[in-house]
Amino acid sequence: MRSLEVENLTVSVEGKTILNNLSLNLPKGEVHAIMGPNGSGKSTLAKALAGHEHYTVSSGAVLMDGENLLDLEVDQRARAGLFMAFQYPVEIPGVSIANFIRAALKARQGEEDSFDALAYYRRLYAEMDRLGIDRKFTGRSVNEGFSGGEKKRCEILQMAMLEPKYCVLDETDSGLDIDALKIVAAGVNHMRGEDRGILVITHYQRLLNHIVPDYVHVIVDGRIVKSGDKSLAVEVEERGYDWIKEEMAAGV
């Protein structure tokens, strides 16, 4: 029950099957990494879990702490505890970071609940300080004119503020220099804990030097073809993906 279980998930985009009977179990308290070549279906998994309308689930199930995630709308999934850090965070002109995160928190409250603005800002500033985000960013429009690193840090800031049960990081390392990568990784590591499962989707092993995963899965052609511990990521980095594909072809 305390896990995000993906069972035989098949997903298509515009009629083309991308994920093919993919299964994965992410228990709370663990960090799993998903690696794979371009076009293998990594981002599709993230978006299908979040419920993006372009991604059609034709079979399979996703259970989040026992609840059928696929029955829920995008926002219901989010409120139930699923967070996705976007590969390409979207600009929302005129909406400040502070108002945006507040709206997201308020969406999780009941009508009657009061919102403690002072406590909110105290927490927001603390998280921003930790992520090295200038406090002036509270007044900036969401992602508008942000550098790649600023956008990714801001995704982690939202994740920290919303305290999700399961986090899916979709290629959060793309476009980051090494300093930004370390800050983002520290932010993610800070969120590791018994009550949270984290799924790190990445193309490169580099990120996994800083966010050390409990398990590594390799995805090829929409399926997880190999799982292992952190050393698998190193092996992939050194040898590429072809040897795994060859193993598959050989039926190993």
Partner 1 sequence: MKNENAIDIDREKGNFHYDTTYEFDAGIGLNERVVNYIADVKEEDDWVRAFRLKALDIFKGKPLPTHWATKDLENIHFDKFRYYLSKGQQPSRTWDEVPDDVKETFERLGIPEQERAFLAGVEAQFDSEAAYSRMKEDLAKDGVIFVGSTEGLKRHPEIFRKFFAKVIPVADNKFSALNSAVFSGGSFIYVPPGVKVKQPLQAYFRINAESFGQFERTLIIADEGAEVTYMEGCTAPKFETTTLHSAVVELVALKGAKIQYITVQNWSSNVFNLVTKRARAEEEAEVKWIDCNIGSRLTMKYPGVILKGRRARGEVLSIALAGDGQHQDTGAKMIHAADETTSNIIAKSISVGEGRSTYRGQVHIPRRLRGCRNNTECDALLINANSRTDTYPAITVRGNHNSVQHEASVSKVSAEQIFYLMQRGMSEGEAMSLAVNGFVNDLVKQFPMEYSVELKRLIDLEMEGSVG
Contacting residues toward partner 1, per CB under 8 A: 50, 52-53, 73-75, 77-79, 83-84, 86, 89-95, 99-101, 103-104, 107-108, 115, 117, 141, 158, 162
Cβ proximity of 46 and 170 under 8 Å: yes
The residue among 152 and 226 lying less far from partner 1, judged by its C-beta, is 152
Q: Please name the helix (run of DSSP H) or strand (run of DSSP E) that holds residue 35, with its range, or none.
A: strand 31-35
Residue type, position 69, single letter:
L
- Report in angstroms how near the CB of residue 96 gets to partner 1 at its nearest: 8
| β partners of residue 197 | 166
The residue among 90 and 252 lying less far from partner 1, judged by its C-beta, is 90
- Give how far Cα 188 sits from Cα of 42, 95, 128, 149, 208, Å: 19, 25, 13, 14, 11
| Closest CA relative to residue 24, chosen from 78, 69, 85 | 69
| Closest CA relative to residue 35, chosen from 198, 195, 201 | 201
Phi, psi of 40 (to 5 degrees): -80, -15
- Report in angstroms how near the CB of residue 90 gets to partner 1 at its nearest: 4
Neighbours of 47 (CB within 10 A): 20
- Report in angstroms how near the CB of residue 182 gets to partner 1 at its nearest: 25
- Report in angstroms how near the CB of residue 6 gets to partner 1 at its nearest: 18
The residue among 28 and 79 lying less far from partner 1, judged by its C-beta, is 79
Structure tokens at 3: 């896990």
| Closest CA relative to residue 215, chosen from 233, 239, 238 | 233
The residue among 44 and 205 lying less far from partner 1, judged by its C-beta, is 44
- Report in angstroms how near the CB of residue 240 gets to partner 1 at its nearest: 32
Cα Rg for the chain, rounded, in angstroms? 18
- Report in angstroms how near the CB of residue 224 gets to partner 1 at its nearest: 24
* Torsion angle, alpha carbons of 80, 27, 45, 212, to 10: 120
The residue among 92 and 225 lying less far from partner 1, judged by its C-beta, is 92
The residue among 113 and 242 lying less far from partner 1, judged by its C-beta, is 113
The residue among 122 and 239 lying less far from partner 1, judged by its C-beta, is 122
Please, where are the H alpha helices in the chain?
Answer: 42-50, 74-80, 97-106, 117-130, 148-162, 178-191, 230-239, 242-250
- Report in angstroms how near the CB of residue 99 gets to partner 1 at its nearest: 8
